[in-house]
Structure 1
Amino acid sequence: MTSPVFISYNEVKNILTSSMIKESVEEAFKSVVVSKGNNQDHPYAYQCPRIRTSSHNVNGILLTMPGCISNHKVTLPNGERKTFETLACKLITRSPKNNQLTPQLPNVLANILLFDEQTGQLKCVMDGKYITVWRTVAASLVATKFLYFGRKNVNASNGVTLAIVGCGVQGESHALEMFRVFSTIRECVSNADIIVTCTRTVEPILHLNMLKKDVHINAVGAAPGGKHYCELGQDIYDIAPVYVDSLNGAKTDLADLKTNIVCAVGEVILGVGKCPEKGISVFQSLGMAVEDAAVAQAVFQYRKNKQTKSRL
């Protein structure tokens, strides 16, 4: 048996590109709405709801996110697109006192395990923190592409206004360019066409009377307990169609949310679901194991391809 390779945070960061992440996430979105054998042109997937295990000694948690995505495409450095089956599991630990250590550690750590799809042998351990951040950004970008820019009445030639609420890692990562910082959330979102919320609030910070009539919202943040729908007021959920990355995930993570969940974004991508023609729309971002799996496979294959070239 060969030992698994380890791919560090810095190596992942040096390999990943925007196009690589967006391609992988779009493949993952499609995979969760396609059944095996129904369409050989599209990826299909199986994933369990995330499993939460408490760690009593450090008051932390371990989140386990296993998933398998088959028939998905990866674009290699030479431009060739190859099809893969990927079996992976992301492990996330949250230890609230890590930032008090000397030297400090992040409170949230992530690792992705990749397995050989034929034998089940562990082939790679990959630092997953960078992937977690940027696959979440990519999910918002892909959702916005199909749910906002897919509307017939949207004319982006004069530009659109983006508002980002939250200035943590996700907020900073979503902000490709920042021109102005507002003192209140109402000022920030009042003229926005697209809004991203990336906070850990336990109370709603956006309400219907703050928003333009045709705005798309990517709700990314989660409260400290893991609740995914604290950022938006119920008055928004009462009138806005809600789209998710995974309907199965929504059954668990959004079980108590009173709203109209229309479909998964993957259904819109594949043309079997409709994007809203106008009005407010919401992408409730939950995060999926197969997103991490698809991105990790792309990183692994890029590294493998590069090493093969260097030996020739």
Structure 2
Amino acid sequence: MSVVHITEERVKELLDWPLVCDAVEQALRAICANRTSDEQPISQQPIRNFTPTEKGVLLCMPGFIGKYKLAGSTKVFNTLGCKLVSSFIANRFLNPPKPNIMANIFLFSEETGQLNAVIGADDLTAWQTAAASMVATKYLYSKRPSTPAINTVAILGCGVEGRIHAIGFCTTNFVDSIYLWNRTISRAEALVTELKQLRHSFKNPNVQIICGESVADCVKNADVIVTATYADTPFLYRSMIKDNVHINATGAGEKGHHSELAEDIYTDPESKIYVDTKAGARIEFHLKAPIVCEIGDIINGHNSTPTAGITIFHSMGLGVEDAACGQAILEKFRKKLN
């Protein structure tokens, strides 16, 4: 059987938020160690492997997710996959610039191990990270008993991840205002211009899109904050943010991994930390407070949605997410051919 190759250009045409968010949610359910139901998907998730070079790093992210369903399908899937990701942050300074992160997902037959598909995953990787943030926001913030609205979103860092988070939140939520901040202000201003051009596709086409003058200015009224930078030192402090805010911490520096939040946010008595996988977090994170649980524990009903407080979701990205999202893209690709 020939190997299916789905190019980056074709993946862009196939991507949509319900598809990616559903696949990511299934993966987060599967990775959860606590079994609460026979209907819960299963998974095998090795720790991802890093191969550093002088100028960047290659990540190998294998994963198996089984006994799961995709939105709009009654079929039960078992998917074995592996994503290879190169991260070379100096690529943006090349002439012409190249993406900092480049990725491909490889899907294999769970029965024979034969390679079935190769899927370009540059855009899909960004969408998956944003989808994980949106799923976490749904379960850690939107499902609180008071059912708070996401009136104001703050995006700190306006690169690839900041951009797609801004688009994702405005597309899937009725956001009143979105604040953007970047160390290089011209990048934030460019994103403001782009988002204004995309307003017609947002749930609230009248959303206010604002370039924040500082981090403090950007986050002071935010209900939801996304940090998406390469910062090695903290720039977000407890004094800047409201009570009961939800933070999606997705950035990663070269020297200080996930270093954007100051210690006083983690050590606040009202702060609660959640992750996609505890096993990976123990190795890659050096958090200043205990982890409450994996987000899958809440999705599966093993733990309750927090009623109040500052919630922080740390996302690393998982091979099982890549496998599930790759499978979803492959299924949509096959339907389009028929």
Q: What is the TM-score with the length of structure 2 in the denominator?
A: 0.83
Q: Give, in angstroms, the shift of residue 195 of structure 1.
A: 0.8
Match of 1:73 in 2: 69
Question: Matches of residues 103-182 of structure 1 in structure 2 within 5 Å?
Answer: 104-156=97-149, 160-176=151-167, 177=170, 178=178, 179-182=209-212
Cα distance in 2, alignment partners of residues 125 and 110 from structure 1: 10
Q: Give, in angstroms, the shift of residue 108 of structure 1.
A: 2.2
Give the alignment partner of residue 281 of structure 1, picking from 311, 314, 317. Answer: 311
Match of 1:13 in 2: 12
In 1, are the aligned partners of 2:34 and 2:297 still within 8 Å (CA)?
no
C-alpha offsets along residues 158-187 of structure 1, whole Å, 9 cap, x if unaligned?
x52111111111111111345111110001
Q: Give, in angstroms, the shift of residue 205 of structure 1.
A: 1.1
Aligned-pair identity (%): 41
Q: Give, in angstroms, the shift of residue 44 of structure 1.
A: 1.1
In 2, are the aligned partners of 1:34 and 1:42 still within 8 Å (CA)?
no
Aligned residue for 1:20, secondary structure, equals helix
Q: What is the TM-score with the length of structure 1 in the denominator?
A: 0.90
Match of 2:78 in 1: 85
For the pair 1:241 / 2:265, whether they are aligned, the reply is no
Aligned residue for 1:180, secondary structure, equals strand
Aligned residue for 1:292, secondary structure, equals helix
Structure 1: state its 5+ residue gaps.
none
Cα 1:182–1:35, aligned 2, differ >3 Å: closer, same or farther?
Answer: closer
AA paired with 2:325?
A: V
Cα 1:234–1:101, aligned 2, differ >3 Å: closer, same or farther?
Answer: closer
In 2, are the aligned partners of 1:203 and 1:231 still within 8 Å (CA)?
yes
Cα 1:195–1:105, aligned 2, differ >3 Å: closer, same or farther?
Answer: closer
Cα distance in 2, alignment partners of residues 96 and 207 from structure 1: 26
In 1, are the aligned partners of 2:234 and 2:262 still within 8 Å (CA)?
yes
Cα 1:294–1:98, aligned 2, differ >3 Å: closer, same or farther?
Answer: same
Q: Give, in angstroms, the shift of residue 218 of structure 1.
A: 0.6
Cα distance in 2, alignment partners of residues 208 and 21 from structure 1: 32
Residue-pair matches, total? 297
C-alpha offsets along residues 3-31 of structure 1, whole Å, 9 cap, x if unaligned?
31211011111112110001001101100
Cα distance in 2, alignment partners of residues 41 and 97 from structure 1: 44
Consecutive aligned runs of 4 or more in structure 1 exceeding 3 Å deviation: 95-105
Cα distance in 2, alignment partners of residues 86 and 226 from structure 1: 33
Q: Give, in angstroms, the shift of residue 97 of structure 1.
A: 5.5
Aligned residue for 1:66, secondary structure, equals strand
Question: Matches of residues 52-71 of structure 1 in structure 2 within 5 Å?
Answer: 52-56=50-54, 59-71=55-67
AA paired with 2:272?
A: P
Structure 2: state its 5+ residue gaps.
171-177, 179-208
Cα distance in 1, alignment partners of residues 34 and 145 from structure 2: 29
For the pair 1:184 / 2:214, whether they are aligned, the reply is yes
In 1, are the aligned partners of 2:276 and 2:315 still within 8 Å (CA)?
yes
Q: CA RMSD in A?
A: 1.8
